[in-house]
């Protein structure tokens, strides 16, 4: 059984507790315009092109001309000589496939690095798009006494089946309003809300992350809308973190042949302060990682 991964490496405290080996899994069912990992959106991977190093000669089908990639000619290409034969650092496929046992072997070898409560985190993309695979992976990590975390958009209807295998459950929540959620992500938040309800009931450690984006969820009305939803539940097992919009992934959108449409989306520090104030006034625990 194989898993598609587009990035891996260590990170401290930002993807769960302690020092963690983080795997970014390929594929996502949302289409957030501010995504910082656009190369992880397509389940089959995306061609990432660096025009500075592109050579016309690496594509025998004429898809590369004068350092420009015509992606329409790549559609349906089965041979992909550009990445399989004429390998060049000007172009690559975003992901690689790994056997689950390869990942387990790597994680076991890395155990000495899992200090301060560290372990392995699965993120994305959206890790649950490879649900059966990560269920096996998480089970094997636990059997090797490795701390586990997953960062998810909480859209998988069977997410709660993984709860016993996850030590830290990190759940993103883009918007409490279903229509706005559909507009900014492309899908409903109905299952998302159901999974939050289950997590607050049945999981011991939940971290809720809200990406704060100007014009999406940066008003006081938005803040109180989130709070109203969370106050319907017992959130004693949960903490909350606010992630201000950034453009760290902007260049990658162009490298993936995608248009980056976000403009003027940074939020004022005062908005983050207001989030903190209103959440804490409602006994919702705010953290920073």
pLDDT in tens, the chain (289 residues): 999 999 999 999 999 999 999 999 999 999 999 999 999 999 999 999 999 999 999 999 999 999 999 999 998 898 999 999 998 899 999 999 999 999 999 999 999 999 999 999 999 999 999 999 999 999 999 999 999 999 999 999 999 999 999 999 999 999 999 999 999 999 999 999 999 999 999 999 999 999 999 999 999 999 999 999 999 999 999 999 999 999 999 999 999 999 999 999 999 999 999 999 999 999 999 999 8
According to the 3-state scheme, what is the secondary structure of 49-83?
A: ECHHHCCHHHCCCCCEECCEECHHHCCCCCCCHHH
Q: What is the CA radius of gyration of the chain?
A: 20
> Which residue from 237, 222, 231, 141 is spatially nearest to 184, judged by alpha carbons?
222
Task: Estimate the share of the chain in helix, then strand, then coil, as percent rounded to the nearest 5.
Answer: 35, 25, 40
> Which residue from 245, 45, 30 is spatially nearest to 153, judged by alpha carbons?
30
Strands (DSSP E) contained in the chain are 2-12, 19-25, 47-49, 64-65, 68-69, 91-93, 96-99, 119-123, 147-152, 168-172, 206-212, 238-244
Sign of the C-alpha dihedral computed for residues 214, 217, 221 and 223 taken in this order:
negative
Backbone phi and psi for residue 196, each to the nearest 5 degrees, phi listed first: -65, -45
Which residues, at least 6 apart from 15, have a Cβ–Cβ distance to it below 8 Å? Answer: 22, 121, 123, 149, 151, 170
Quick one: pLDDT at residue 69?
A: 94
3-state secondary structure of 168: strand
> Which residue from 270, 261, 273, 82 is spatially nearest to 184, judged by alpha carbons?
261
Task: Note the pTM of the prediction, 2 decimals.
Answer: 0.96
Which residues, at least 6 apart from 236, have a Cβ–Cβ distance to it below 8 Å? Answer: none
Per residue in 199-217, is it b (16+ CB within 10 Å) or e — as a string? bbeebebbbbbbbbbbebb
Residues 175 and 211: beta-carbon distance below 8 Å: no
Report the residue count for the chain: 289
Provide the β-strand partners of residue 5: 25, 96
80 in the Ramachandran plot: left (φ > 0), alpha (ψ -120 to 50) or beta? left
206-212 and 96-99 beta bridge pairing: unpaired
What number of other Cβ atoms are within 10 A of residue 9's Cβ?
9
Residues 217 and 244: beta-carbon distance below 8 Å: no
Residues 195 and 183: beta-carbon distance below 8 Å: no
């Amino acid at each position: 059984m194989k898993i598609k991964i587009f990035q891996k490496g260590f990170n401290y405290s930002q993807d769960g507790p302690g020092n963690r080996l983080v795997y970014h899994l390929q594929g996502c069912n949302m289409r957030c315009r501010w995504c910082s990992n656009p190369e992880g959106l397509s389940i089959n991977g995306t061609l990432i092109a660096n025009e500075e190093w592109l050579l016309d000669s690496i594509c025998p089908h004429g898809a590369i001309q004068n350092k420009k990639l015509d992606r329409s000619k790549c559609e349906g290409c089965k041979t992909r000589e550009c990445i399989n034969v004429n390998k060049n650092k000007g172009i690559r496929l975003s992901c690689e496939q790994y056997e689950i046992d390869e990942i387990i072997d790597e994680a076991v070898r890395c155990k000495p690095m899992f200090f301060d409560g560290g372990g392995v985190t699965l993120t994305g993309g959206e890790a649950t798009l490879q649900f059966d695979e990560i269920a096996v992976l998480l089970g094997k990590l636990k059997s090797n006494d490795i701390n586990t975390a997953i960062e998810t958009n909480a859209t998988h209807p069977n997410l709660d089946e993984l709860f016993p295998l996850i030590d830290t459950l990190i759940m993103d929540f883009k918007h409490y309003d279903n229509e706005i959620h559909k507009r900014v992500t492309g899908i409903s938040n109905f299952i998302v809300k159901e999974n939050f309800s289950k997590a607050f009931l049945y999981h011991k450690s939940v971290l809720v992350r809200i990406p704060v984006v100007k014009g999406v969820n940066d008003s006081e009305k938005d803040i109180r809308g989130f709070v109203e939803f969370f106050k319907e539940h017992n959130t004693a097992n949960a903490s909350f973190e606010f992630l201000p919009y950034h453009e760290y992934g902007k260049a990658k959108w162009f490298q993936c042949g995608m248009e980056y449409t976000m403009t003027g989306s940074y939020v004022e520090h005062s908005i983050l302060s207001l989030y903190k104030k209103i959440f804490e006034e409602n006994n919702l625990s705010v953290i920073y990682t």
